[in-house]
A and B are shown apart, each in its own frame.
Chain A
Amino acid sequence: MTRDPRTPEALSWDTFIQGLWRENPVFVMLLGLCPVLAVTNTAMNALSMGLATTFVLLCSGVLVSVLRNLIPRQVRIASYIIIIATFVTIVDYAIQAVSLDLYKALGAFIQLIVVNCIILGRAEAYASKNPVVSAFVNALGMGLGFTFALLCLGAVREVLGSGSLFGLSLFGPDFQPWAVFVLPPGGFFVLAFWLFLFAVVRKRLKVTESSMEERTNAA
């Protein structure tokens, strides 16, 4: 963020993959957690929320990048928010038209996409400093990374909490659902579990890397 705003980053594979893994908005940067916990009680809700957010991310990223030299610095946040709110209104009406059940399940959280920190964060930290194509690729990576994280949580919570996945029953009628996982505390616990898991994996990777280095140094 301290970089000169006029020097764009070169477009590379990394621009895309950054959002998916290394800087995953949910698991690494811990941004946009409200929808991550609130609408992941079933895998279907999680997937729709992820796709809706990705759409808004892409559109607003492109528009902010196009207008990046026209928006005065003092009012940039307000301008970004207005751009984002426009696209969220579109998504809101679109979902209402396509599936009323889904609209009721997601509730106010569709409109609350407006205040998802990931979207404003990307607009401020990336789209406002980079050309359209990089902004698009970066937003796509971030959106997919977000959707992936939502699915990770939604799948675990639905399997444990109601014994099904995408509405299909997995364990038969005798399964006693673990109701706490569909309730609010379950969301916190499942996300904590994923974070533990990723912390362990990352630590393992680091250990392997450093032992490899030692071996090459010894040789």
Chain B
Amino acid sequence: MQPDSLSFIFLNAFIINNFVLAMFLGLCPFLGVSGKIKTAWNMGLAVIFVMLVSSTCAYAINFLLIRYHLEFLRLICYIAVIASAVQLVEMAIKKWSPALFRTLGIFLPLITTNCAILGVALFQTQRDYDFFQCLAFSLGAGAGFTLALMLMAGLREKLELADVPDVSMGAALSLVIAGLLSLTFMGFAGLGG
């Protein structure tokens, strides 16, 4: 595979350098919203959508900023775009599915502060991707995030029935599982060549 082909960029963001498990981006929702598979799935979809919108906007904005030599405003512009995209999604979900709105709770506005989304915008700028590469990259990153979230949610649903010592309940146990998942995903590193 060519290193700058669309399929490689997608696979790279999806599993080889999984955003959550290899690059540590987007851990807060990864640990916070991974209690149930259904919620995890919805959260994943919301994140993919916001990622696509913000990545497209970031590409356009970067184009303008470079044209007028305003690179120091990049971070502020990116984050403003992401915040507005999240607000849009929040209003849409509140209107169409109040139940989902309540389950996602504080984690919905916090998508704004999901590092994975800003990470996509920053990395695509750093690596000089063109428009279609940006799309492939953000889709891959979003899919990778959703995959990690779903795997985690599945494991945690099983864990509720398991008999574990009191002190290890909750976050510590989730982190051990995340570590094991991360070890597994290191196995995909060979694909990158």
Contacts and interface: CB of A to CB of B under 8 A. Distances in A.
Contacts of B119: 108, 112
B110 A86 contact: no
Nearest to B185: A184
Interface stretch (A15-23, A63-71, A192-200): A192-200
Given A82-B79, A184-B22, A196-B167, A108 B126 contact: yes
A1 B156 CA distance: 28
A34 interface: yes
A115 B118 contact: yes
B159 interface: no
B12 interface: no
The main secondary structure of chain A at its interface with chain B is helix
Given A78-B84, A89-B72, A116-B113, A199 B179 contact: no
A137 to B, nearest CB: 23
Interface in A162-219: 180, 183-189, 191-192, 195-196, 199-200, 203
A188 B176 contact: yes
A174 B123 CA distance: 39
Contact of B112 (A31, A35, A77): A77
B84 A195 contact: no
A217 B20 CA distance: 51
A120 B107 CA distance: 13
B182 A85 contact: no
Interface residues of B, number: 44
A151 interface: no
Interface string A112-124: 1011110010000
Contacts of A203: 166-167
Contacts, number: 121
A106 to B, nearest CB: 13
A114 B28 contact: no
Nearest to B76: A85
A144 B28 CA distance: 20
A112 B122 contact: yes
Interface in A74-93: 77-78, 81-82, 85-86, 88-89, 92-93
B24 interface: yes
Contacts of B123: 108
Contacts of B112: 77, 81, 115, 120
B23 interface: yes
Contacts of B76: 82, 85-86, 89
B72 A199 contact: no
A150 to B, nearest CB: 13
A188 B186 contact: no
Nearest to A107: B126
Given A82-B80, A183-B186, 7 more contacts: A34-B27, A37-B24, A78-B80, A85-B76, A89-B75, A108-B126, A203-B166
Interface of B: 21-28, 31-32, 72, 75-76, 79-80, 83-84, 87, 109-110, 112-115, 117-119, 122-123, 126, 166-168, 171-173, 175-176, 178-180, 182-183, 186
The 8 A-B pairs of least Cβ separation, nearest first, read A188-B179, A192-B175, A195-B172, A38-B24, A33-B27, A199-B167, A185-B182, A115-B113
